[in-house]
Amino acid sequence: MTVDEFVVSAIRRATYVAPSQVSSKSTLEELCIDSLALVSIVAQFEAVYGVELSTDVALDLAQVEDVAELCERMRRCLEPSNKERSRTVDWDDGYAHSIFHVRPECTQLFMIFRGRAMRLMMASSEFLKATRIHDRNIMLFGDCRQTDYLKGVSSEISSFAAFVDWQREQRRQRFPHVLATYCLGTSVGALAAILSGYLLRVQIVWAFALPDTGLKHPQGHYLEGTEYESSLQLSDLLKCGNGVTEYRIYYNRSEEQDRRAAESLVGCPGVKLFPQSGLEHPVVHTLARQGRLDDVLIPYEGR
């Protein structure tokens, strides 16, 4: 398989775009290739060609504009100077909705939930680099079916409760070396992060721009089939606490709905609010402009 043939095949797997729709002049924006799709393509590339790419090389692909340039960059990745074999890296794209980044030397696991736009309010690779967590263990999720995680992430994992059970099992199987687990999410991903963090009893949840929404929708209840199904609002769930988790909620105070959602949780055990002075929904942009994204999370911990 040539690199060009590989790229077309990898794009198909990462985005569900038909190969006939891909040409060398196609832009990544036209093909809806975001940073998570690029991470998936990198994982496929490593598996097919038997190489391990350095983090910097993988992140550099986020600057690519069209398919022709992507092919050229991937060819360069086969050069010996761009291969990294000194560290164990496992980007596994076995599931279209999830990516796993295994770092055996790190004792932290970040479970990251993207928002409705399939981003983290910026390209996922940019976020991971800005927050300095690209060298941690990572489970990166996206709801390709756009149900806001209410219906899980796939036809096989079709409820939020099943999604949480699946997360628990993946953590057990893939990250036995991890000592501390954290959740992080933006927009609707923030709600998924808080619910997952509560049910999995993680140490800390970072929620950016939590939406003002309840747990029960016309399409169903986020906690259907669990002991918490009677909770109609997030505050109903969190007010009892789980005895472990801390929730750090960031939002722009000028955005009325986000402010209302955050303030509805005041008084719940473990909840800490971090109002920001920016405008509109993307509070991550506010923190990035202020150069504070790398201060939001906790320092790296390893063996």
94 shares its domain with 78: no
Q: Quick check: is 302 in a domain?
A: no
71 shares its domain with 217: no
* Dihedral, 274, 116, 232, 283 alpha carbons, nearest 10: 10
pLDDT tens for 144-163 read 777 889 998 888 899 999 99
Q: For residue 13, what is the domain's CATH number?
A: 1.10.1200.10
Task: Kindly tell me the burial class for residue 4, based on how many C-beta atoms sit within 10 Å of its own C-beta (0-12, 13-18, 19 or more).
Answer: middle
Q: Quick check: is 37 in a domain?
A: yes
Closest Cα to residue 190, out of 234, 220, 232? 234
Residue tagged 């998570």 (tokens): 36
Q: Are strands 90-95 and 98-102 parallel, antiparallel or unpaired?
A: antiparallel
In angstroms, how far is the first alpha carbon of the chain from the final one?
Answer: 40
pLDDT tens for 86-123 read 333 343 434 457 878 888 899 999 999 988 766 788 87
Q: Quick check: is 78 in a domain?
A: yes
95 shares its domain with 77: no
Q: 285 falls in which pLDDT band (50, 70, 90)?
A: very high
Q: For residue 173, what is the domain's CATH number?
A: 3.40.50.1820
Least confident of 56-60, 68-72, 87-91, 209-213: 87-91
Which of 30, 60, 82 is the last residue in one of the domains? 82
Determine the structural domain holding residue 29 and report its residue range.
Answer: 3-82
- Number of domains present in the structure of the chain: 2
Q: Distance (Å, rounded) from C-alpha 51 to C-alpha 250? A: 39
98 shares its domain with 73: no
Which of 82, 114, 139 is the last residue in one of the domains? 82
Q: Quick check: is 54 in a domain?
A: yes
pLDDT of residue 91: 38
pLDDT tens for 71-91 read 887 777 776 554 443 333 343
203 shares its domain with 245: yes
Report yes or no on whether pTM surpasses 0.95. Answer: no
20 shares its domain with 113: no
pLDDT of residue 90: 41
Q: Which helix (H) or strand (E) holds 109?
A: strand 108-113
243 shares its domain with 146: yes
205 shares its domain with 74: no
250 shares its domain with 115: yes
Task: Kindly tell me the burial class for residue 154, based on how many C-beta atoms sit within 10 Å of its own C-beta (0-12, 13-18, 19 or more).
Answer: middle
